[in-house]
Structure 1
Amino acid sequence: MRNIYTYGRQPAQRNYTIPDLRALKYADAPLTMCFPGDATELAACVEAGIETLTVLDSNLVEFRRLAPTTFMATSMAWGQNKTPDDILRHAIGCMELGADMYLTNRSFGVVEMLAKEKIPVQVHVGLVPSFSVLGGGLRAYGRTADEAMEIYRTFKRYEDAGAVAAEVECVAEEAMKHLNANTSLVTISLGSGRAGDIIFQFMSDLCGETEAPPKHAYAFCDLKPLHAEIYKQRVTALTEFRKSSIRRQFPFEGQNVRMHANEEQALIEVLSQMKK
């Protein structure tokens, strides 16, 4: 555990810092990363020992409070902030709220701007779903040497711009292996095989909650039947609540608060006097 000060100048501890992540390139085993959507999912990640997280900016304050030492990245949607000033303002705000790394899909110039302000920047290469119309649809990348070299050149441009890490999505595993060995970027593999420094999956995919999961997803359990049963039980509870309330049966005796002895009669008498 590392002692740090946050970007908001608060003393804290982290399980990993940026140099720790960079040192992973020489480690035997990768770290893991997940995307929790709520506090319950976050708690499950922490209990399971997931070492790094990526979270929505809207969850930063709550999640940092609940997982004070876990390395936590956050991001902006491609069109969330329109101008470089907007992006910089948002990134600084996220870092002050407890983020440890900031993901952007914007230009090399934006990455350089953020890096110059000492913000650890994560980028996204390979399949970037938001840009799939430019790349010919949702497909795998790096299946030819030429395309793998194009990814390599992109890595180098991001290195020069000052990026720290790259989410590498749906890149051929062989290409990922050789690219990872030839970049200083911390690689986060999402559907790019086992050669990444960090292996990333979405919570809904891992838990079998996605109706039409992508090819790179693997469900280690199947929560869909449980969700269906929970929904059924919710409807049952709500239906019975409504029926009992309409019949004036609920709240039941065990849920009611009663006046002290003789106080109801005293109240009746007082109200009666008021009506005279």
Structure 2
Amino acid sequence: MKRIYDFSRNPAMRNFTVADLKALKGSGRQLSMANPADRNEIKACVDAEIDLFVVGTDQMEDVRELAPAIFTGAGSSWAQFGSDDEIVAHAYEAMRRGADMYYTLRSFDVMEWMASEGIPVQSHIGLIPTFSHHCGGLRAFGRKAEEAMQIWETIKRMEDVGVFAVEAECIAEEVLTAVNGKTSIVTFSLGSGPGGDAVFSFVADICGEVSEEGKPPKHAHAFGQVGRLHKQIHDERVAALGEFHREVAAGNFPYAETNIGMFAGEKEKFLEALDHWTPTHQ
């Protein structure tokens, strides 16, 4: 655990610093990385001792409350902001909130601008779902030598503009293993084999929550069955609500034991007063 000052100059502790992650390259030690989406998932990731987090910027307060020492990246989607000024301003905001790096898909110029201001920049190579239209849909990358060289050239360009880390998504494992040893950039492997500096997976995939299509992607491996529990909870909820509806419709609910009664003798007093009540003013 390292003592640091965060980007708002608040004293803090971190399990890893930027320098630590760079120094781990080539060490043989591989870190775990996940994306907790709410307070419950943050707590679960902390209890499970996940090494690195990546979250939305609006989650940073929760992360710093519940996981104050975990190295955490934040960022924005490609279309979230229109101008370069807006995206850089958002990067500053994320860092002020306690982020340790900032994720962006914007141009090399914007990445260089952020890096030159001291912001640890994370970007993305391989399959970038946001740009899936450009590459013919969701698919793997680097399975042919020509495309593998394009990945290498992209990561070197990122290195040249000061990018600190990249998410390497759905790249042939041989490619990531080869390029990772030739770049100073820290790599987070998502579906790209064991050759990255950290292995990243989505909390929903790790925990076995069913995707929208009902079929997880090839690289997703469920280590739990939370989806089954969600279904059990849903079924129990429907059963309870249905029984409530039927009992109300039948005139059976509320049950006597769930009702509140008056104290002994008070009902008679109340009914007599009610029968004799007259308004005090018209």
TM-score, normalised to structure 1's length? 0.89
Q: Aligned Cα RMSD in Å?
A: 2.4
Task: Determine the C-alpha separation between the residues in 1 that align with 2:21 and 2:48.
Answer: 20
**1:111 matched to which residue of 2?**
111
Tell me if 1:45 matches 2:37.
Answer: no
**1:236 matched to which residue of 2?**
239
**1:6 matched to which residue of 2?**
6
In our comparison, the structure showing a higher alpha carbon Rg is 2
**2:100 matched to which residue of 1?**
100
5 Å-filtered alignment, 1:55-94, equals 55-94=55-94
Displacement of 1:222 in angstroms is 2.6
5 Å-filtered alignment, 1:194-209, equals 194-209=194-209
**1:129 matched to which residue of 2?**
129
Task: Determine the C-alpha separation between the residues in 1 that align with 2:255 and 2:116.
Answer: 62
With 128-137 and 239-248 compared, the bigger mean Cα shift is at 239-248
Q: Deviations over 1:36-93 (max 9, x none)?
A: 1222222111111110011122222122211111111112111001101110111111
Displacement of 1:26 in angstroms is 2.8
Task: Determine the C-alpha separation between the residues in 2 that align with 1:189 and 1:263.
Answer: 72
Displacement of 1:264 in angstroms is 8.0
Secondary structure in structure 1 of the residue aligned to 2:59: helix
**Contact 2:26–2:181 (8 Å) recurs in 1:** no
**2:23 matched to which residue of 1?**
23
Task: Determine the C-alpha separation between the residues in 1 that align with 2:92 and 2:139.
Answer: 34
Task: Determine the C-alpha separation between the residues in 2 that align with 1:259 and 1:118.
Answer: 70
Displacement of 1:244 in angstroms is 5.7
**1:220 matched to which residue of 2?**
223
| Matched letter for residue 206 of structure 1 | I
Displacement of 1:237 in angstroms is 2.9
Tell me if 1:147 matches 2:182.
Answer: no
Task: Determine the C-alpha separation between the residues in 2 that align with 1:82 and 1:20.
Answer: 34
Displacement of 1:141 in angstroms is 1.4
Displacement of 1:21 in angstroms is 0.7
Task: Determine the C-alpha separation between the residues in 2 that align with 1:17 and 1:263.
Answer: 70
Give the 3 Å change call, closer, same or farther, for CA 252–155 of structure 1 in structure 2: farther
May I ask how many residue pairs the two structures share in their alignment? 275
Structure 2: gaps (5+ residues)? none
With 216-225 and 180-189 compared, the bigger mean Cα shift is at 216-225
Task: Determine the C-alpha separation between the residues in 2 that align with 1:151 and 1:234.
Answer: 48
**Contact 2:115–2:162 (8 Å) recurs in 1:** yes
Displacement of 1:249 in angstroms is 4.1
TM-score, normalised to structure 2's length? 0.87
**Contact 1:241–1:250 (8 Å) recurs in 2:** no
Displacement of 1:34 in angstroms is 0.7
Task: Determine the C-alpha separation between the residues in 2 that align with 1:7 and 1:266.
Answer: 70
User: Percent identical across equivalent pairs?
Assistant: 45
Whose helix proportion is higher, 1 or 2?
Answer: 1
Displacement of 1:239 in angstroms is 3.5
| Matched letter for residue 8 of structure 1 | S
Task: Determine the C-alpha separation between the residues in 2 that align with 1:108 and 1:58.
Answer: 25
| Matched letter for residue 200 of structure 1 | F
